[in-house]
Amino acid sequence: MKLTRRNALALGGAAIAVTLVPVNATFAATDLTMADIAAFTGGAEVGEGGIELTTPEIAENGNTVPIAFSAPGAKRVLILADGNPSPGVATFSFSELAMAEGSTRIRLATTQDVIAVAEMADGTFTKVSKSVKVTIGGCGG
């Protein structure tokens, strides 16, 4: 292929388009995460704190990342993985006498935030997030 001005412009445009794709995918995941939180809270305001979320700082394998949470006084807890194609991971429900804590292993597509949102007994909502660096790909990446 002879490099002409037209070919150079086409290659430059393609390079720009390729670099923008991950940015758009990140914004889409954040939109999905916000939609999941709004559905969980019914659109109510969400405060910060009140939940202890334990995640590894670095996950050597995104296919199985251990997480744990403790949210004293919570009725329900929603776990989200902000960078996954489907951010909603799990919802835990607790009775009045149960200790609001749990643990599981989740799959993370890339380095991203893991978010826990809790509905407290008084009807308020609170959240916390932790960043997890994934060094080997999980779902979709």
Backbone angles phi, psi at 2, to 5 degrees: -80, 130
Which of 19-23, 124-128, 136-140 bottoms out in mean pLDDT, i.e. has the lowest? 19-23
Contacts of 54 (CB under 8 A, 6+ apart): 67, 68, 69, 103
pLDDT at 141 over 50: no
Residue 139 in domain: no
Residue 102 in domain: yes
Contact 108, 65 (CB under 8 A): yes
Q: Which domain holds residue 84?
A: 5-134
Residue 88 in domain: yes
Residue 103 in domain: yes
Residue 141 in domain: no
Could you read off the pLDDT of 117-126 as tens digits, one per residue?
A: 999 999 999 9
Q: Say which CATH number the domain at 93 has.
A: 2.60.40.2470
pTM of the model: 0.76
Total structural domains within the chain: 1
Residue 39 in domain: yes
Residue 86 in domain: yes
DSSP per-residue codes, 93-122: E--TTS--EEEEEE--SSSEEEEEEEEETT
Could you read off the pLDDT of 22-45 as tens digits, one per residue?
A: 444 444 447 899 999 999 999 999
Could you read off the pLDDT of 95-123 as tens digits, one per residue?
A: 988 999 999 999 998 999 999 999 999 99
Bridge pairing between strands 52-54 and 101-106: unpaired
Instruction: Taking residues 74-79, report their average pLDDT.
Output: 97
* pLDDT tier, 20 (very low <50, low <70, confident <90, very high otherwise): very low
Instruction: Taking residues 131-139, report their average pLDDT.
Output: 79
Residue 140 in domain: no
pLDDT at 3 over 90: no
